Amino acid sequence: MDRPLSEIGIIPVTTSIIESLYPELKSADKKVTWLEKQGIIIRLKRGLYVINPEYSGKTLSSELIANHLYTPSYISMSTALRYYGLIPEAVYVHQSMTVKHPRSFQTPVGSYDYKYISRKAFSIGVRSMNKGDYAFLIASPEKALCDLIANSSKVILRYMKDVETYLEQDIRMDMDEFYKMDATIFEDYIHVGKKTDSISTLLKFLRR
């Protein structure tokens, strides 16, 4: 693998960045096309690529890809809850929230889905997860749960029993960890988020 590409690591990069690695070439755009045809780089969408892990020797980060594929966005809902080990079910579509229009992407390295959230609610309970060489934005467990409830059309939490059934049976939440959650994030979300009645019932259940 050539040296310029090795400097990229696992970070998704644009066509122009790859071209800038080869200033000595008159037609660097053809170099990008050649790299893709050779399977050295993988196209995520038009103009955005990652280095094939078979060539870089480094495992790709689906979280990092999710952040770069559609910006601004952060990982949330079932994907975030699974990342924290709070739910047992495997998640096959990488779920994120964005202030842009909802979008879905099918890529050679996975499926990515983005749901809309208002700008006022976007930043609540979002953290930067540092993994050494890179970092990505992900919802806190509390925010991920809010986003999941808000974007699940059939979930309506009117009573305490509804919350108990949803958490313990529907998503099989780790209840010991649930009771450690930060109530203030739910409070902040209730002021600006969606399905606030359901989140309010959830908060009452947490505090009982």
Looking at residue 1, what is its pLDDT?
58
- How many structural domains does the chain have? 2
Nearest to 77 by CA among 131, 125, 12, 134: 125
Based on the fold, state whether residues 90 and 14 are members of the same structural domain.
Answer: no
Q: Examine the fold and report which residue of 56, 79, 94 is the final residue of a domain before the chain moves on.
A: 56
51 and 76 both lie in a single domain: no
The stretch 106-118 carries a mean pLDDT of 98
Structural domain span for residue 77: 62-207
DSSP helix/strand/coil, 41: strand
- Asked whether residue 102 falls in the same domain as residue 176, the answer is yes
Do 27 and 105 fall into the same domain?
no
Three-class SS state of 170: helix
For residue 96, what is the enclosing H or E element? strand 93-98
* 37 plus 73 within the same structural domain: no
Q: What is the mean pLDDT of the chain?
A: 95
Residues 50 and 153 in one domain: no
Q: Residue 126: beta bridge partners?
A: 139
Same domain, 49 and 70: no
Are 75 and 117 members of one domain?
yes
The pLDDT tens digits of the residues spanning 191-202 come to 999 999 999 999
Helices 183-192, 141-150: axis angle to 10 degrees equals 40
Quick one: 178 and 79 in the same domain? yes
Confidence of residue 122 (pLDDT cuts 50, 70, 90): very high
138-146 average pLDDT score: 99
> Strand locations in 17-92, DSSP E?
41-45, 48-51, 73-75
pLDDT attached to residue 169: 98
Same domain, 109 and 152: yes
Check whether residue 122 and residue 67 sit in a common domain: yes
pLDDT digits (tens, 9 = 90+) for 43-84: 999 999 999 999 989 999 999 999 999 999 999 999 999 999
- Are 85 and 179 part of one and the same domain? yes
* Nearest partner of 152 among 67, 78, 70, judged by Cα: 78
